[in-house]
Amino acid sequence: MGDVRQDAQGLPLAKPLDEAAIQAFSSKVRGQLLRPEDDGYDEARTVFYGGFDRRPELIVRVKDDTDISRVIALARESGLELAVKSGGHSVAGHSTTEGGIVLDLSEMKNLELDVEGRTAWAQTGLTAGEYTAATAAHGLATGFGDTGSVGIGGITLGGGVGYLVRKHGLTVDDLLAAEVVTADGELLRVDAESHPDLFWAIRGGGGNFGVATRFQFRLHEVDEIVGGMLILPATPEVIASFVTEAEAAPEELSTIANVMTAPPMPFLPAEVHGQLVIMAMLVYAGEEVEAGQRAVAPFRALAEPIVDMLKPMSYPEIYPPEDDDFHPTAVARTMFIDTIDSDVSQTILERLRASDAPMRVAQIRVLGGTMARVPAEATAFAHRSSRIMMNVAAFYESMEERAAREAWVNHFAAALRQGEGGAYVGFLGEEGENRVREAYPKSTWDRLAEIKRRYDPSNLFRLNQNIPPAIEQ
Ligand SMILES: Cc1cc2nc3c(=O)[nH]c(=O)nc-3n(C[C@H](O)[C@H](O)[C@H](O)COP(=O)(O)OP(=O)(O)OC[C@H]3O[C@@H](n4cnc5c(N)ncnc54)[C@H](O)[C@@H]3O)c2cc1C
Protein backbone atom coordinates (compact mmCIF):
# COMPACT_ATOMS: atom_id res chain seq x y z
CA MET A 1 0.00 0.00 0.00
CA GLY A 2 1.26 3.49 -0.82
CA ASP A 3 1.33 6.27 1.69
CA VAL A 4 -2.09 7.66 2.42
CA ARG A 5 -1.78 11.39 2.99
CA GLN A 6 -3.51 12.58 6.12
CA ASP A 7 -4.93 15.86 7.30
CA ALA A 8 -4.14 17.48 10.67
CA GLN A 9 -6.66 15.22 12.39
CA GLY A 10 -5.11 12.08 10.92
CA LEU A 11 -8.01 11.54 8.51
CA PRO A 12 -7.22 10.41 4.98
CA LEU A 13 -7.16 13.35 2.61
CA ALA A 14 -9.83 13.82 -0.01
CA LYS A 15 -8.65 13.49 -3.62
CA PRO A 16 -6.64 16.50 -4.81
CA LEU A 17 -8.49 18.95 -7.03
CA ASP A 18 -8.12 18.25 -10.72
CA GLU A 19 -7.01 20.89 -13.20
CA ALA A 20 -10.49 21.41 -14.62
CA ALA A 21 -11.96 22.01 -11.16
CA ILE A 22 -9.26 24.56 -10.35
CA GLN A 23 -9.73 26.36 -13.68
CA ALA A 24 -13.50 26.48 -13.21
CA PHE A 25 -13.05 27.79 -9.68
CA SER A 26 -10.46 30.39 -10.64
CA SER A 27 -12.76 31.87 -13.29
CA LYS A 28 -15.32 32.56 -10.57
CA VAL A 29 -13.24 34.25 -7.86
CA ARG A 30 -11.69 37.72 -7.73
CA GLY A 31 -8.98 36.82 -5.24
CA GLN A 32 -5.53 35.41 -5.98
CA LEU A 33 -5.02 31.63 -6.07
CA LEU A 34 -1.72 30.16 -4.95
CA ARG A 35 -0.67 26.57 -5.62
CA PRO A 36 2.54 24.76 -4.65
CA GLU A 37 4.28 25.64 -7.90
CA ASP A 38 3.47 29.35 -7.69
CA ASP A 39 5.80 32.17 -6.70
CA GLY A 40 4.82 33.43 -3.29
CA TYR A 41 3.33 30.08 -2.23
CA ASP A 42 5.86 29.51 0.56
CA GLU A 43 5.31 32.93 1.98
CA ALA A 44 1.54 32.54 1.74
CA ARG A 45 1.54 29.20 3.58
CA THR A 46 3.62 30.54 6.46
CA VAL A 47 1.84 31.08 9.77
CA PHE A 48 3.05 32.90 12.87
CA TYR A 49 4.25 29.83 14.77
CA GLY A 50 7.07 27.79 13.35
CA GLY A 51 6.66 24.00 13.47
CA PHE A 52 3.57 23.89 11.20
CA ASP A 53 5.25 23.12 7.90
CA ARG A 54 2.07 22.20 6.02
CA ARG A 55 1.53 22.31 2.28
CA PRO A 56 -1.99 23.31 1.32
CA GLU A 57 -3.24 22.24 -2.08
CA LEU A 58 -4.68 25.69 -2.66
CA ILE A 59 -4.52 29.08 -0.95
CA VAL A 60 -7.16 31.63 -1.88
CA ARG A 61 -6.64 35.25 -0.91
CA VAL A 62 -10.29 36.16 -0.94
CA LYS A 63 -11.43 39.66 -1.89
CA ASP A 64 -15.08 39.69 -0.92
CA ASP A 65 -18.01 37.75 0.53
CA THR A 66 -18.75 36.06 -2.80
CA ASP A 67 -15.19 34.70 -2.94
CA ILE A 68 -15.68 33.37 0.58
CA SER A 69 -18.91 31.58 -0.39
CA ARG A 70 -17.16 30.07 -3.40
CA VAL A 71 -14.23 28.79 -1.35
CA ILE A 72 -16.66 27.28 1.14
CA ALA A 73 -18.53 25.59 -1.73
CA LEU A 74 -15.26 24.22 -3.12
CA ALA A 75 -14.34 22.77 0.27
CA ARG A 76 -17.80 21.31 0.72
CA GLU A 77 -17.89 19.71 -2.72
CA SER A 78 -14.29 18.45 -2.77
CA GLY A 79 -14.22 17.25 0.84
CA LEU A 80 -10.85 18.95 1.24
CA GLU A 81 -9.97 20.26 4.68
CA LEU A 82 -10.65 23.99 5.02
CA ALA A 83 -8.37 26.27 7.03
CA VAL A 84 -9.55 29.81 7.77
CA LYS A 85 -6.77 32.33 8.23
CA SER A 86 -7.15 35.85 9.51
CA GLY A 87 -3.91 36.88 11.24
CA GLY A 88 -2.37 33.37 11.20
CA HIS A 89 -1.57 33.30 14.94
CA SER A 90 -3.40 30.10 15.86
CA VAL A 91 -1.44 28.46 18.66
CA ALA A 92 -2.60 25.08 17.32
CA GLY A 93 -1.60 25.74 13.71
CA HIS A 94 -5.23 25.72 12.62
CA SER A 95 -4.83 28.33 9.91
CA THR A 96 -2.86 26.04 7.67
CA THR A 97 -3.60 22.56 6.32
CA GLU A 98 -1.79 19.62 4.78
CA GLY A 99 -3.30 19.13 1.34
CA GLY A 100 -6.42 21.20 1.98
CA ILE A 101 -7.60 24.70 1.14
CA VAL A 102 -6.59 27.88 2.99
CA LEU A 103 -9.15 30.67 2.96
CA ASP A 104 -6.84 33.61 3.53
CA LEU A 105 -8.59 36.82 4.65
CA SER A 106 -5.46 38.98 4.76
CA GLU A 107 -6.54 41.18 1.84
CA MET A 108 -9.89 42.05 3.37
CA LYS A 109 -8.85 45.02 5.47
CA ASN A 110 -11.62 47.54 4.98
CA LEU A 111 -12.46 49.64 8.04
CA GLU A 112 -15.48 51.95 8.27
CA LEU A 113 -15.42 54.26 11.25
CA ASP A 114 -18.41 56.06 12.66
CA VAL A 115 -16.51 58.42 14.91
CA GLU A 116 -19.57 60.19 16.23
CA GLY A 117 -21.52 56.99 16.82
CA ARG A 118 -18.41 55.35 18.37
CA THR A 119 -18.60 52.21 16.24
CA ALA A 120 -16.50 50.55 13.54
CA TRP A 121 -17.19 47.92 10.88
CA ALA A 122 -13.95 46.05 10.33
CA GLN A 123 -13.14 43.31 7.84
CA THR A 124 -11.46 40.35 9.45
CA GLY A 125 -8.20 40.55 7.50
CA LEU A 126 -7.17 43.43 9.74
CA THR A 127 -4.76 42.84 12.55
CA ALA A 128 -5.30 44.22 16.05
CA GLY A 129 -2.43 46.65 15.46
CA GLU A 130 -3.79 47.93 12.15
CA TYR A 131 -7.27 48.45 13.61
CA THR A 132 -5.86 50.17 16.71
CA ALA A 133 -3.64 52.53 14.70
CA ALA A 134 -6.62 53.60 12.57
CA THR A 135 -9.04 54.18 15.45
CA ALA A 136 -6.38 55.91 17.58
CA ALA A 137 -6.25 58.67 15.00
CA HIS A 138 -9.62 59.66 16.52
CA GLY A 139 -8.65 58.96 20.14
CA LEU A 140 -10.75 55.77 20.08
CA ALA A 141 -10.06 52.09 20.65
CA THR A 142 -11.52 48.61 20.98
CA GLY A 143 -9.59 46.22 23.20
CA PHE A 144 -7.74 43.28 21.65
CA GLY A 145 -4.75 41.37 23.04
CA ASP A 146 -1.10 42.05 23.82
CA THR A 147 0.24 41.60 20.28
CA GLY A 148 -0.44 43.86 17.31
CA SER A 149 0.03 41.22 14.60
CA VAL A 150 -2.76 38.98 15.95
CA GLY A 151 -5.73 38.95 13.54
CA ILE A 152 -9.00 40.46 14.70
CA GLY A 153 -10.71 37.35 13.25
CA GLY A 154 -9.27 34.75 15.59
CA ILE A 155 -8.95 36.86 18.72
CA THR A 156 -12.53 38.11 18.57
CA LEU A 157 -14.06 34.70 17.99
CA GLY A 158 -12.14 33.31 20.99
CA GLY A 159 -13.11 36.14 23.36
CA GLY A 160 -10.19 38.57 23.39
CA VAL A 161 -8.32 39.28 26.63
CA GLY A 162 -6.01 42.27 26.56
CA TYR A 163 -4.91 45.59 27.95
CA LEU A 164 -8.43 47.01 28.29
CA VAL A 165 -10.02 43.89 29.80
CA ARG A 166 -10.71 45.33 33.24
CA LYS A 167 -11.81 48.72 31.97
CA HIS A 168 -13.88 47.72 28.93
CA GLY A 169 -14.18 43.92 29.07
CA LEU A 170 -13.30 41.31 26.48
CA THR A 171 -13.18 42.06 22.76
CA VAL A 172 -16.51 40.23 22.42
CA ASP A 173 -18.06 42.55 24.97
CA ASP A 174 -17.62 45.30 22.38
CA LEU A 175 -18.91 43.20 19.50
CA LEU A 176 -22.21 44.68 18.33
CA ALA A 177 -22.79 42.66 15.16
CA ALA A 178 -21.02 40.50 12.61
CA GLU A 179 -21.40 39.21 9.09
CA VAL A 180 -20.81 35.50 8.78
CA VAL A 181 -20.77 33.18 5.77
CA THR A 182 -22.07 29.83 6.97
CA ALA A 183 -21.33 26.32 5.73
CA ASP A 184 -24.08 26.53 3.10
CA GLY A 185 -22.43 29.65 1.64
CA GLU A 186 -25.05 32.10 2.88
CA LEU A 187 -24.02 35.51 4.22
CA LEU A 188 -25.82 36.24 7.50
CA ARG A 189 -25.95 39.45 9.44
CA VAL A 190 -25.89 38.46 13.11
CA ASP A 191 -26.57 40.59 16.16
CA ALA A 192 -28.77 40.61 19.24
CA GLU A 193 -31.93 40.56 17.10
CA SER A 194 -30.91 38.70 13.98
CA HIS A 195 -29.68 35.11 14.54
CA PRO A 196 -29.11 35.82 18.25
CA ASP A 197 -28.07 32.21 18.84
CA LEU A 198 -25.26 32.52 16.32
CA PHE A 199 -24.32 35.92 17.72
CA TRP A 200 -24.03 34.33 21.16
CA ALA A 201 -21.95 31.42 19.79
CA ILE A 202 -19.38 33.49 17.90
CA ARG A 203 -18.57 35.45 21.07
CA GLY A 204 -16.17 32.81 22.37
CA GLY A 205 -17.02 29.71 20.31
CA GLY A 206 -14.13 30.22 17.86
CA GLY A 207 -14.29 29.51 14.14
CA ASN A 208 -16.83 26.69 14.42
CA PHE A 209 -19.84 28.42 12.94
CA GLY A 210 -18.76 30.05 9.71
CA VAL A 211 -16.37 32.59 8.26
CA ALA A 212 -16.74 35.99 9.89
CA THR A 213 -16.19 38.55 7.17
CA ARG A 214 -16.84 41.74 9.16
CA PHE A 215 -17.29 42.73 12.77
CA GLN A 216 -19.02 45.80 14.13
CA PHE A 217 -17.31 46.96 17.31
CA ARG A 218 -18.05 49.58 19.92
CA LEU A 219 -15.27 52.14 20.30
CA HIS A 220 -14.18 53.74 23.55
CA GLU A 221 -12.36 56.95 24.18
CA VAL A 222 -8.82 55.77 24.83
CA ASP A 223 -6.27 58.39 24.00
CA GLU A 224 -3.27 58.98 26.21
CA ILE A 225 -2.58 56.06 28.51
CA VAL A 226 -0.03 55.54 31.25
CA GLY A 227 1.75 52.29 30.71
CA GLY A 228 4.53 50.29 29.16
CA MET A 229 7.08 47.88 30.50
CA LEU A 230 8.21 47.45 34.07
CA ILE A 231 10.82 44.83 34.89
CA LEU A 232 11.15 43.70 38.48
CA PRO A 233 13.24 41.05 40.20
CA ALA A 234 11.31 37.76 40.45
CA THR A 235 11.04 36.73 44.09
CA PRO A 236 8.03 34.94 45.62
CA GLU A 237 7.12 38.08 47.57
CA VAL A 238 7.30 40.41 44.57
CA ILE A 239 5.23 38.06 42.39
CA ALA A 240 2.54 37.64 45.05
CA SER A 241 2.46 41.37 45.83
CA PHE A 242 2.26 42.19 42.14
CA VAL A 243 -0.90 40.08 41.89
CA THR A 244 -2.36 41.67 45.05
CA GLU A 245 -1.74 45.15 43.64
CA ALA A 246 -3.16 44.22 40.24
CA GLU A 247 -6.36 42.98 41.89
CA ALA A 248 -6.63 46.10 44.07
CA ALA A 249 -5.84 48.51 41.24
CA PRO A 250 -8.55 50.70 39.68
CA GLU A 251 -10.28 49.01 36.76
CA GLU A 252 -8.60 51.42 34.38
CA LEU A 253 -5.42 49.44 34.96
CA SER A 254 -4.88 46.04 33.32
CA THR A 255 -1.62 44.13 33.69
CA ILE A 256 0.15 41.22 32.03
CA ALA A 257 3.09 39.90 34.05
CA ASN A 258 5.54 37.48 32.50
CA VAL A 259 7.77 35.68 34.95
CA MET A 260 10.53 34.63 32.61
CA THR A 261 14.21 34.40 31.89
CA ALA A 262 15.44 37.84 30.93
CA PRO A 263 16.33 37.87 27.24
CA PRO A 264 19.65 39.41 26.18
CA MET A 265 18.07 42.71 25.24
CA PRO A 266 20.20 45.85 25.08
CA PHE A 267 18.05 47.74 27.59
CA LEU A 268 18.67 45.04 30.22
CA PRO A 269 21.91 45.03 32.24
CA ALA A 270 24.11 42.08 31.16
CA GLU A 271 24.09 40.57 34.66
CA VAL A 272 20.35 39.88 34.51
CA HIS A 273 20.41 38.16 31.10
CA GLY A 274 19.15 34.61 31.64
CA GLN A 275 17.97 35.40 35.20
CA LEU A 276 14.33 35.12 36.19
CA VAL A 277 12.55 38.48 36.17
CA ILE A 278 8.99 39.78 36.09
CA MET A 279 8.58 41.46 32.74
CA ALA A 280 5.29 43.24 33.16
CA MET A 281 3.18 45.30 30.80
CA LEU A 282 0.82 47.81 32.37
CA VAL A 283 -1.89 49.91 30.75
CA TYR A 284 -3.84 52.54 32.62
CA ALA A 285 -6.65 53.64 30.29
CA GLY A 286 -8.29 56.38 32.34
CA GLU A 287 -8.81 60.06 31.71
CA GLU A 288 -6.15 61.68 33.88
CA VAL A 289 -2.42 61.11 33.47
CA GLU A 290 -1.93 61.91 37.17
CA ALA A 291 -4.42 59.21 38.17
CA GLY A 292 -2.52 56.81 35.93
CA GLN A 293 0.77 57.72 37.58
CA ARG A 294 -0.84 57.08 40.98
CA ALA A 295 -2.19 53.71 39.78
CA VAL A 296 1.20 52.44 38.57
CA ALA A 297 3.15 53.78 41.58
CA PRO A 298 2.51 50.73 43.84
CA PHE A 299 4.03 48.43 41.20
CA ARG A 300 7.15 50.58 40.97
CA ALA A 301 7.43 50.38 44.75
CA LEU A 302 7.38 46.55 44.92
CA ALA A 303 11.15 46.37 44.45
CA GLU A 304 13.90 48.39 42.84
CA PRO A 305 12.84 48.16 39.15
CA ILE A 306 15.43 46.66 36.81
CA VAL A 307 13.81 48.62 33.98
CA ASP A 308 11.08 51.21 34.32
CA MET A 309 9.61 52.35 31.01
CA LEU A 310 6.21 53.32 32.40
CA LYS A 311 5.17 56.65 30.95
CA PRO A 312 2.28 58.54 29.39
CA MET A 313 1.98 57.41 25.78
CA SER A 314 -0.53 57.09 22.99
CA TYR A 315 -2.42 53.78 23.16
CA PRO A 316 -1.08 52.21 19.90
CA GLU A 317 2.49 52.53 21.24
CA ILE A 318 1.66 49.51 23.36
CA TYR A 319 1.96 47.51 20.10
CA PRO A 320 5.60 47.99 19.09
CA PRO A 321 6.73 47.09 15.55
CA GLU A 322 7.23 43.36 15.06
CA ASP A 323 9.64 41.31 12.98
CA ASP A 324 7.68 39.48 10.23
CA ASP A 325 10.38 36.82 10.14
CA PHE A 326 9.89 35.84 13.79
CA HIS A 327 8.32 32.36 13.83
CA PRO A 328 8.85 30.89 17.30
CA THR A 329 8.32 27.25 18.16
CA ALA A 330 6.77 26.81 21.57
CA VAL A 331 4.53 24.60 23.67
CA ALA A 332 2.13 26.19 26.09
CA ARG A 333 -0.70 25.44 28.51
CA THR A 334 -3.44 27.84 29.51
CA MET A 335 -5.67 27.79 32.60
CA PHE A 336 -7.60 29.92 35.04
CA ILE A 337 -6.66 30.07 38.71
CA ASP A 338 -7.91 31.97 41.75
CA THR A 339 -4.88 32.83 43.83
CA ILE A 340 -1.19 33.54 43.50
CA ASP A 341 0.16 33.83 47.03
CA SER A 342 3.80 33.41 47.95
CA ASP A 343 3.51 29.59 47.96
CA VAL A 344 2.16 29.57 44.42
CA SER A 345 4.83 32.13 43.46
CA GLN A 346 7.46 29.84 44.95
CA THR A 347 6.13 26.97 42.82
CA ILE A 348 6.27 29.21 39.75
CA LEU A 349 9.91 30.06 40.39
CA GLU A 350 10.89 26.46 41.23
CA ARG A 351 9.31 25.14 38.02
CA LEU A 352 10.89 27.83 35.89
CA ARG A 353 14.28 27.06 37.44
CA ALA A 354 13.81 23.34 36.77
CA SER A 355 13.81 23.84 32.99
CA ASP A 356 16.79 24.59 30.79
CA ALA A 357 14.74 25.90 27.87
CA PRO A 358 16.44 29.12 26.75
CA MET A 359 13.08 30.86 26.90
CA ARG A 360 10.40 29.81 29.38
CA VAL A 361 7.63 31.82 30.87
CA ALA A 362 4.73 31.88 33.30
CA GLN A 363 2.29 34.58 32.26
CA ILE A 364 -0.12 36.06 34.79
CA ARG A 365 -3.16 38.09 33.71
CA VAL A 366 -5.27 39.43 36.55
CA LEU A 367 -8.86 39.70 35.35
CA GLY A 368 -11.97 41.21 36.94
CA GLY A 369 -13.57 44.59 36.37
CA THR A 370 -15.96 45.04 33.43
CA MET A 371 -15.22 41.57 32.07
CA ALA A 372 -16.38 39.97 35.33
CA ARG A 373 -19.69 41.85 35.43
CA VAL A 374 -21.00 40.24 32.23
CA PRO A 375 -23.13 37.19 33.15
CA ALA A 376 -21.43 33.87 32.35
CA GLU A 377 -24.30 32.78 30.11
CA ALA A 378 -24.39 36.03 28.09
CA THR A 379 -21.67 34.90 25.67
CA ALA A 380 -19.92 31.65 24.78
CA PHE A 381 -16.90 32.88 26.76
CA ALA A 382 -18.11 31.83 30.21
CA HIS A 383 -15.07 32.28 32.49
CA ARG A 384 -16.40 35.54 33.81
CA SER A 385 -15.69 34.93 37.47
CA SER A 386 -12.19 33.59 36.87
CA ARG A 387 -9.74 35.80 38.67
CA ILE A 388 -6.45 35.05 36.95
CA MET A 389 -5.54 33.67 33.55
CA MET A 390 -2.28 31.79 33.68
CA ASN A 391 -0.26 30.61 30.69
CA VAL A 392 2.95 28.64 30.87
CA ALA A 393 5.19 28.15 27.86
CA ALA A 394 8.59 26.87 26.79
CA PHE A 395 10.26 27.52 23.49
CA TYR A 396 12.09 24.74 21.65
CA GLU A 397 14.31 24.37 18.65
CA SER A 398 14.08 20.73 17.57
CA MET A 399 11.40 18.06 17.56
CA GLU A 400 13.53 15.95 19.96
CA GLU A 401 13.54 18.86 22.36
CA ARG A 402 9.80 19.40 21.94
CA ALA A 403 8.81 16.28 23.92
CA ALA A 404 10.81 17.39 26.95
CA ARG A 405 9.38 20.90 26.77
CA GLU A 406 5.87 19.51 26.50
CA ALA A 407 6.38 17.28 29.55
CA TRP A 408 7.64 20.31 31.45
CA VAL A 409 4.63 22.52 30.59
CA ASN A 410 2.27 19.68 31.50
CA HIS A 411 3.89 19.19 34.92
CA PHE A 412 3.98 22.92 35.47
CA ALA A 413 0.29 23.32 34.59
CA ALA A 414 -0.63 20.40 36.88
CA ALA A 415 1.31 21.97 39.75
CA LEU A 416 -0.56 25.24 39.32
CA ARG A 417 -4.01 23.79 38.87
CA GLN A 418 -6.61 25.06 41.34
CA GLY A 419 -10.16 23.69 41.33
CA GLU A 420 -11.85 23.27 37.96
CA GLY A 421 -9.02 24.84 36.00
CA GLY A 422 -10.69 25.69 32.74
CA ALA A 423 -8.99 26.93 29.59
CA TYR A 424 -9.05 29.96 27.32
CA VAL A 425 -9.82 28.71 23.84
CA GLY A 426 -7.61 31.37 22.23
CA PHE A 427 -4.51 29.95 23.91
CA LEU A 428 -5.22 26.25 23.42
CA GLY A 429 -2.79 24.28 21.32
CA GLU A 430 -3.55 20.94 19.67
CA GLU A 431 -4.42 19.34 23.03
CA GLY A 432 -7.36 17.07 22.27
CA GLU A 433 -11.12 17.19 22.78
CA ASN A 434 -11.04 17.11 26.58
CA ARG A 435 -9.09 20.32 26.67
CA VAL A 436 -11.49 21.98 24.21
CA ARG A 437 -14.30 20.94 26.55
CA GLU A 438 -12.42 22.58 29.43
CA ALA A 439 -12.81 25.90 27.63
CA TYR A 440 -16.57 25.70 28.15
CA PRO A 441 -18.81 24.75 31.08
CA LYS A 442 -21.13 21.87 30.14
CA SER A 443 -24.20 24.06 29.58
CA THR A 444 -22.20 26.33 27.25
CA TRP A 445 -20.77 23.34 25.41
CA ASP A 446 -24.19 21.75 24.91
CA ARG A 447 -25.64 25.01 23.62
CA LEU A 448 -22.69 25.50 21.26
CA ALA A 449 -23.02 21.93 19.95
CA GLU A 450 -26.71 22.48 19.25
CA ILE A 451 -26.02 25.74 17.39
CA LYS A 452 -23.24 23.98 15.49
CA ARG A 453 -25.72 21.29 14.46
CA ARG A 454 -28.02 23.93 13.01
CA TYR A 455 -25.41 26.01 11.18
CA ASP A 456 -22.73 23.44 10.30
CA PRO A 457 -24.26 19.95 10.55
CA SER A 458 -21.51 18.27 8.50
CA ASN A 459 -18.73 19.93 10.52
CA LEU A 460 -17.22 21.63 7.50
CA PHE A 461 -15.52 24.06 9.90
CA ARG A 462 -13.61 21.40 11.81
CA LEU A 463 -10.02 22.63 11.61
CA ASN A 464 -10.32 24.62 14.84
CA GLN A 465 -10.88 23.98 18.54
CA ASN A 466 -13.70 21.81 17.39
CA ILE A 467 -17.19 21.60 18.82
CA PRO A 468 -18.78 18.68 16.96
CA PRO A 469 -22.45 19.15 16.00
CA ALA A 470 -24.91 17.77 18.55
CA ILE A 471 -26.55 14.55 17.42
CA GLU A 472 -30.20 15.13 16.55
CA GLN A 473 -32.48 13.52 19.15
C1 LIG B 1 1.96 36.05 20.04
C2 LIG B 1 0.52 35.83 20.43
C3 LIG B 1 -0.06 36.67 21.36
C4 LIG B 1 -1.40 36.49 21.71
N5 LIG B 1 -1.95 37.33 22.64
C6 LIG B 1 -3.25 37.22 22.95
C7 LIG B 1 -3.86 38.09 23.88
O8 LIG B 1 -3.21 38.96 24.47
N9 LIG B 1 -5.18 37.93 24.14
C10 LIG B 1 -5.94 36.97 23.53
O11 LIG B 1 -7.14 36.92 23.80
N12 LIG B 1 -5.38 36.11 22.67
C13 LIG B 1 -4.06 36.21 22.37
N14 LIG B 1 -3.49 35.31 21.51
C15 LIG B 1 -4.29 34.19 21.00
C16 LIG B 1 -5.01 34.60 19.74
O17 LIG B 1 -6.14 35.39 20.08
C18 LIG B 1 -5.49 33.36 18.97
O19 LIG B 1 -4.37 32.60 18.62
C20 LIG B 1 -6.27 33.77 17.74
O21 LIG B 1 -6.97 32.66 17.25
C22 LIG B 1 -5.38 34.34 16.68
O23 LIG B 1 -6.14 34.97 15.73
P24 LIG B 1 -5.59 35.09 14.22
O25 LIG B 1 -6.70 35.63 13.41
O26 LIG B 1 -4.29 35.78 14.21
O27 LIG B 1 -5.29 33.58 13.93
P28 LIG B 1 -5.62 32.59 12.73
O29 LIG B 1 -4.58 31.54 12.88
O30 LIG B 1 -5.74 33.29 11.44
O31 LIG B 1 -7.01 32.03 13.13
C32 LIG B 1 -7.14 31.13 14.22
C33 LIG B 1 -8.42 30.36 14.08
O34 LIG B 1 -9.51 31.25 14.29
C35 LIG B 1 -10.54 30.98 13.37
N36 LIG B 1 -10.70 32.18 12.54
C37 LIG B 1 -9.83 33.21 12.36
N38 LIG B 1 -10.41 34.16 11.62
C39 LIG B 1 -11.64 33.73 11.32
C40 LIG B 1 -12.73 34.27 10.62
N41 LIG B 1 -12.67 35.47 10.06
N42 LIG B 1 -13.88 33.54 10.51
C43 LIG B 1 -13.97 32.31 11.07
N44 LIG B 1 -12.96 31.75 11.76
C45 LIG B 1 -11.83 32.46 11.89
C46 LIG B 1 -10.15 29.77 12.59
O47 LIG B 1 -10.66 28.65 13.23
C48 LIG B 1 -8.65 29.77 12.71
O49 LIG B 1 -8.11 28.49 12.65
C50 LIG B 1 -2.16 35.45 21.13
C51 LIG B 1 -1.57 34.59 20.20
C52 LIG B 1 -0.24 34.78 19.86
C53 LIG B 1 0.39 33.86 18.86
Q: Whose CA is nearest to atom 13 of ligand 1?
A: 145
pLDDT at position 170 over 60? yes
Mean pLDDT within 263-273:
91
- pLDDT for 358 equals 87
- pLDDT for 4 equals 62
pTM above 0.75, yes or no: yes
Q: How far is the CA of 95 from the centre of ligand 1 (A)?
A: 9
- Average pLDDT of the chain is 95
Which atom of ligand 1 is the closest one to the Cα of 210? 43
- pLDDT for 17 equals 85
Mean pLDDT within 15-24:
87
Give the end-to-end CA distance of the chain in Å, rounded to a whole number: 40
Q: Could you tell me the pLDDT band of residue 8, with boundaries at 50, 70 and 90?
A: low
Q: How far is the CA of 348 from the centre of ligand 1 (A)?
A: 27
Q: What digits encode the pLDDT tens for the residues 316-371?
A: 999 999 999 999 999 999 999 999 999 999 999 999 999 999 899 999 999 999 99
Q: Could you tell me the pLDDT band of residue 211, with boundaries at 50, 70 and 90?
A: very high
Q: How far is the CA of 334 from the centre of ligand 1 (A)?
A: 14
Q: Could you tell me the pLDDT band of residue 46, with boundaries at 50, 70 and 90?
A: very high
pLDDT at position 419 over 60? yes
- pLDDT for 76 equals 95
pLDDT at position 155 over 80? yes
- pLDDT for 11 equals 66
Mean pLDDT within 16-25:
89
Q: Could you tell me the pLDDT band of residue 12, with boundaries at 50, 70 and 90?
A: low
Q: Whose CA is nearest to atom 38 of ligand 1?
A: 153
Q: Could you tell me the pLDDT band of residue 207, with boundaries at 50, 70 and 90?
A: very high
How far out from the chain centre does Cα 178 lie?
18
- Of 84, 145, 138, 74, whose CA–CA distance to 111 is shortest? 138
Q: Could you tell me the pLDDT band of residue 2, with boundaries at 50, 70 and 90?
A: very low
pLDDT at position 13 over 90? no
Which atom of ligand 1 is the closest one to the Cα of 160? 11
- pLDDT for 7 equals 64
Q: How far is the CA of 464 from the centre of ligand 1 (A)?
A: 10
Q: Whose CA is nearest to atom 28 of ligand 1?
A: 88
pLDDT at position 3 over 50? yes
Q: How far is the CA of 89 from the centre of ligand 1 (A)?
A: 5
Mean pLDDT within 76-87:
96
Q: Could you tell me the pLDDT band of residue 1, with boundaries at 50, 70 and 90?
A: very low
pLDDT at position 385 over 80? yes
Mean pLDDT within 385-413:
95
pLDDT at position 18 over 90? no
Which percentage of the chain shows pLDDT scores above 70?
97
pLDDT at position 5 over 70? no
Q: How far is the CA of 29 from the centre of ligand 1 (A)?
A: 26
Q: Which of 46, 155, 324 to mutate to test the pocket of ligand 1 (most atoms within 8 A of CB)?
A: 155
